[in-house]
């Protein structure tokens, strides 16, 4: 199938057949394998944060910021999970990258991972939309291994999904990472997609804090701290200043953290978080933004809210996928329809007991494997609707 025909279908929210997806992923891997872990691009470019499967919001973002190839884009990762249309979202980006390779660039986020996608929606979505087959999930997650880790804009701005690492002092140390694999639990590669900035305002500290508190806050600014996420680190101003000085950089753009206003600025502009999924998980009520960078010193945060399509959506998927030869609608063998509010509804259980953060890599839906062993049809509408009602939404990811 021609790329322009694929784009035409994808912009309409249609799914592509498995054989086409396999071919697209193969061709993109051939392209990405030639790219360095650190790519260099020039302004003007629009920087996009987490999208998390919010396909209609991504279309709204293209309406606001301009479609490819009229606008250059740098996506900072986390294309899948959480939202209801991860398949449509990642397929459109894959096809755009193949069609306009110099106009759009895709970095890897912590959700571009086999382990994470099995817990937070993408795996189940692929099963639902492709008749219980894992093939689409496998070929796309294999492609994730080829995504680049970071980007430098105009030789001055460092872009990454998460943040910095105690194992990385220079850009050259990123270049020698073996990225063609699953994201490990620790190490430089994991830190780049998992870490977060943490700003301690000593001047705004509460009355009564003693000098020991000042010393502690200074210490957290100067050193990496273990992240409450269970992976990566938190880092302060001193860590950022050292990294930028050693690498002759001006500032850092990253994503990875929900921002109520669509973006957040740390350390007087040394680090900026861009978040591009409005009303995250269809319930957080946050704004989103894209960062339109005209030159290294001229930029604009284009803030937007969720598209009206999200407010009226009534199903996990009402898309159709097409037969390669006939290009006629072919009904999916599985259709999961669920009101969005029900899909993320809390089942009333007490989640405060037991382990809540002991391992981010342990599947939150492991009971599904037990059900499979017991002969329950985990791909049925009834099971998936029930499973959706019991699904936890953990905002720390």
Residue 318: pLDDT band with limits 50, 70, 90: very low
Mean pLDDT of the chain: 82
List, in sequence order, every residue forming a beta bridge with 292; answer none if it has no partner: 46, 300
More confident of the two residues 76 and 391: 76
> Rounded distance, CA 46 to CA 60, Å?
14
- Write the CA distances from 290 to 42, 202, 395, integer angstroms: 17, 31, 21
> Rounded distance, CA 254 to CA 242, Å?
17
The verdict on whether omega for the bond into residue 266 sits within 30 degrees of 0, i.e. cis, is no
The answer to whether 278 and 306 have CB atoms below 8 angstroms apart is yes
The answer to whether 80 and 88 have CB atoms below 8 angstroms apart is no
- Averaged over 312-322, what is the pLDDT? 44
pLDDT, position 200: 76
Residue 217: pLDDT band with limits 50, 70, 90: low
Least confident of 44-53, 122-131, 356-365: 356-365
pLDDT, position 209: 52
- Averaged over 27-37, what is the pLDDT? 97
Residue 222: pLDDT band with limits 50, 70, 90: confident
Helix boundaries (H) for the chain = 3-11, 18-32, 55-65, 86-99, 114-117, 122-129, 135-144, 171-175, 188-194, 211-222, 237-246, 308-312, 340-343, 367-373, 381-389
The answer to whether 169 and 243 have CB atoms below 8 angstroms apart is yes
Residue 353: pLDDT band with limits 50, 70, 90: very low
Helix boundaries (H) for 66-168 = 86-99, 114-117, 122-129, 135-144
Does the pLDDT at position 365 exceed 60?
A: no
Residue 79: pLDDT band with limits 50, 70, 90: very high
Considering Cα of 312, then 316, then 93, then 303, what sign does the dihedral take? positive
Q: Convert the pLDDT of each residue in 153-210 to its tens digit.
A: 999 999 999 999 999 999 999 999 999 999 999 999 999 999 999 987 544 444 555 6
Q: How many CB atoms lie within 10 A of CB 356?
A: 10
The answer to whether 277 and 290 have CB atoms below 8 angstroms apart is no
Residue 312 tokens read as 């009226």
pLDDT, position 128: 96
Residues of the chain by 3-state class (helix, strand, coil), percent to 5: 35, 15, 50
pLDDT, position 199: 83
Residue 368: pLDDT band with limits 50, 70, 90: very low
Does the pLDDT at position 127 exceed 80?
A: yes
Does the pLDDT at position 76 exceed 80?
A: yes
Does the pLDDT at position 357 exceed 70?
A: no
- 111 counts as catalytic: yes
Does the pLDDT at position 305 exceed 90?
A: yes
What one-character-per-residue DSSP string does 348-393 give?
Answer: ---TTSS-SSS-TTS-TTTHHHHHHHTT--TTSHHHHHHHHHT---
Does the pLDDT at position 218 exceed 60?
A: no
- Catalytic residue, candidates 111, 245, 256, 390: 111
> Rounded distance, CA 52 to CA 309, Å?
16
> Rounded distance, CA 206 to CA 202, Å?
9
């Amino acid at each position: 199938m021609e790329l322009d025909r694929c784009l035409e279908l994808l912009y309409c929210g249609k799914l592509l057949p498995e054989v086409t997806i396999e071919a697209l992923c193969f061709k993109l891997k051939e392209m990405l394998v030639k790219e360095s872990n650190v790519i260099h691009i020039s302004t003007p470019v629009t920087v996009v944060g987490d999208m998390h499967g919010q396909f209609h919001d991504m279309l709204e973002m293209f309406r606001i910021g301009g479609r490819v190839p009229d606008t250059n884009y740098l996506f900072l990762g986390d294309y899948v999970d959480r939202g209801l249309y991860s398949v449509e979202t990642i397929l459109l980006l894959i096809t755009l990258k193949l069609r306009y390779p110099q106009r759009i660039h895709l970095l890897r986020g912590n959700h571009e991972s086999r382990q994470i996608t099995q817990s937070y929606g993408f795996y189940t979505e692929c099963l639902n939309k492709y008749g219980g087959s894992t093939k689409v999930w496998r070929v796309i997650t294999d492609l994730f291994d080829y995504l680049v880790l970071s980007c430098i804009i105009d030789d001055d701005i460092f872009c990454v999904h998460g943040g910095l690492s105690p194992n990385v002092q220079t850009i050259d140390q990123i270049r020698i990472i073996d990225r063609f694999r699953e994201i490990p639990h620790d190490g430089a590669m994991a830190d780049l997609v998992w870490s977060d900035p943490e700003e301690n305002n000593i001047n705004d500290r509460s009355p009564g804090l003693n000098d020991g508190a000042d010393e502690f806050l200074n210490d957290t600014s100067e050193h990496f701290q273990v992240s409450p996420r269970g992976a990566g680190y938190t880092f302060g101003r001193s860590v950022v200043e050292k990294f930028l000085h050693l690498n002759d950089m001006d500032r850092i753009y990253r994503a990875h953290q929900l921002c109520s206003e669509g973006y957040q600025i740390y350390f007087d502009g040394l680090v900026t978080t861009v978040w591009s999924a409005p009303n995250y998980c269809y319930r957080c009520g946050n704004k989103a933004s894209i960062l339109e960078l005209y030159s290294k010193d001229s930029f604009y945060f284009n803030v937007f809210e969720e598209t009206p399509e999200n407010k009226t959506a009534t199903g996990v998927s009402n898309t159709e996928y097409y037969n390669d030869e006939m290009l006629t609608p072919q009904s999916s063998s599985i259709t999961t329809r669920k009101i969005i509010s029900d899909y993320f509804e809390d089942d009333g259980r007490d989640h405060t007991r037991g382990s809540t953060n002991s391992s981010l890599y342990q599947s939150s839906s492991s009971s599904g494997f037990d059900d499979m062993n017991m002969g329950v049809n985990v791909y049925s509408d009834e099971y998936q609707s029930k499973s959706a009602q019991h699904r936890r939404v953990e905002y720390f990811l």
